[in-house]
Amino acid sequence: MSHTGTTRTPRELSPPRARSFLIRLTVISTLGGLLFGYDTGVISGALLYMRDDLSMTTSQEAWVVSALLFPGAAFGALLGGRISDALGRKKSLIVCAVIFFFGALFCAIAPTVPLMIAARILLGFGVGAAAVSCPLYLAEMAPAEKRGRMVTINELMIVTGQMLAFMINALLAVLITDTHVWRIMLGVATIPAVILFVGMFLLPESPRWFGARGRVDEARGVLSQSRTPDEVDLELTEIIETAKSEGDSRKHAWLALKNNRWMRRLLYLGFGLAAIQQATGINTVNYYAPSILTQSGLGDQAALIATIGVGVTSVTMTIFGIWLLGFVGRRRMLIIGFSGVVGAQVVLALVFMLPPSDLVSYVILACMMLFVAFVQAFIGTCIWLLLSEIFPLAIRGLAMGLAVFVLWTVNAGISFVFPQIVEGIGSTWTFALFAAINLGSLFFVLRAVPETKGRSLEVLENDFRTQAIRTVPRRERLAGR
């Protein structure tokens, strides 16, 4: 039984206490997102020193970057989905914290490239599992009207982690001249991992997870910490009815997928959303920005400092995107985002045609920041939110894990081939290719993505089951609603 149990009755709830509970819950649980961001962003600066210290080849660099993503994060997502269903959202995040700690520690002390790759794979398991468990936990804990902003706080923490990685990389590069400085860069991640581990013991389990297992009193106790008595009764009734309608399918998620075409359609939609998020090419900037800038004329330290601008842009525009989600529908956000990404990538491709110089380097940086702004404000915030919303409870952990597996697989593939494509066809044609791909992603959004804003998870599930939400009518697609 959760330590929260039923010790607090619904009538004891006060608005300040509810806000305090939700803030505490969001800050602690999204430390998984912070670690996700730091561990994916820190490698961009560490590579500049690691390549010489470990005598790495170009191929080995690609493996060190991509090993965290595939097989690490990709299979970590599959593992995370199953652990999340079996142990609960809370315990799965505790497991993630342990993996984050030892993964970061082993990366910091790895003496050879093969051991570094192995450590990055271990760390990737934590990244992938957290990418599944944290949005699920937030989506299932949040009141319907706060779900959009609470879930997307995780995206804010991801980009904050990346910004911190860029800042710490630059600071350490200035303060420490030792070639082993990359070990400190990688080892810093052990600190938030410890805080996440301790903090999750102070939080309750998801009421949906309790309700799906017939533990109604415990579900009521958790809901009462952030809802009024009437809201608790209404939401608990929805949870119980959903659990009954699913029967034993929760225990047999694969069988539920096989027997329910509407569930498979949602799974395929999730695959598409995951793929188009990474097909933006956002992580080519997160992982290779310093390398791109050094190749265009900047020195190592100048490139690391300049990259902070990318991190600041990510955080600022994610905050803007979270604010927008309170007013703008998910579909319209994606339409604006992909339209802006295509335009920014076309401009970036043209700038790469200019001869290398410091001025051109800073123009390239400005174009990358514009590209990052559209992704983080309109796309990154929305897609993680949609993935946490669209799947029915019976398959939620499994489906989220499979979708995030696709996300990390696409991410790893792009990250691995990006340097080779640039070397083969040049930066101009590489970003022109990304622009073409994102035109296809925009078409996918117009054709397939439904609007989920303003509905509880249970109402959404019923609407999908009864096909009240299918594809959006053509007039609404064109209007972006």
Question: What is the per-residue DSSP string for 357-372?
Answer: -HHHHHHHHHHHHHHH
Q: What angle do CA 69, 73, 79 make, to 5 degrees?
A: 155
The amino acid present at 353, given as its one-letter code, is M
Residue 149 or residue 119, greater confidence:
119
According to the model, what pLDDT value does residue 195 have?
A: 94
Task: Identify the CATH class of 18-479.
Answer: mainly alpha
Tell me the range of 60-64, 329-333, 472-476 where mean pLDDT is highest: 329-333
**pLDDT category of residue 190 using cuts at 50, 70 and 90:** very high
What are 61-73's pLDDT values in tens digits? 888 888 888 888 8
Reduce the DSSP state of residue 344 to 3 states and report it.
helix
According to the model, what pLDDT value does residue 3 have?
A: 42
Q: What angle do CA 163, 421, 167 make, to 5 degrees?
A: 10
According to the model, what pLDDT value does residue 1 have?
A: 39
DSSP 360: H
Average pLDDT taken over every residue of the chain:
85
Residue 438 or residue 285, greater confidence:
438
Mean pLDDT of 23-45: 88
Is the pLDDT confidence value at 56 over 50? yes
The amino acid present at 280, given as its one-letter code, is T
What are 153-177's pLDDT values in tens digits? 887 898 899 889 988 988 998 888 8
Is the pLDDT confidence value at 7 over 70? no
**pLDDT category of residue 305 using cuts at 50, 70 and 90:** confident
Closest CA relative to residue 133, chosen from 450, 384, 408: 384
According to the model, what pLDDT value does residue 206 have?
A: 93
Mean pLDDT of 432-438: 94
**pLDDT category of residue 478 using cuts at 50, 70 and 90:** very low
Mean pLDDT of 181-199: 94
The amino acid present at 402, given as its one-letter code, is L
Mean pLDDT of 441-470: 84
DSSP assignment of 406-465: HHHHHHHHHHHHHHHHHHHHHHHHHHHHHHHHHHHHHHHHHHHPPP-TT--HHHHHHHHH
According to the model, what pLDDT value does residue 468 have?
A: 64
- CB atoms near residue 127 (< 10 Å): 32
Is the pLDDT confidence value at 366 over 70? yes
Mean pLDDT of 441-454: 90
Mean pLDDT of 457-461: 83
The residue ranges of every structural domain in the chain are: 18-479
According to the model, what pLDDT value does residue 474 have?
A: 43
pTM for the whole structure: 0.74
Mean pLDDT of 469-479: 44
Q: Work out the percent of the chain whose per-residue pLDDT is above 70.
A: 91
Is the pLDDT confidence value at 425 over 90? no
The answer to whether the CB of 127 falls within 8 A of the CB of 157 is no
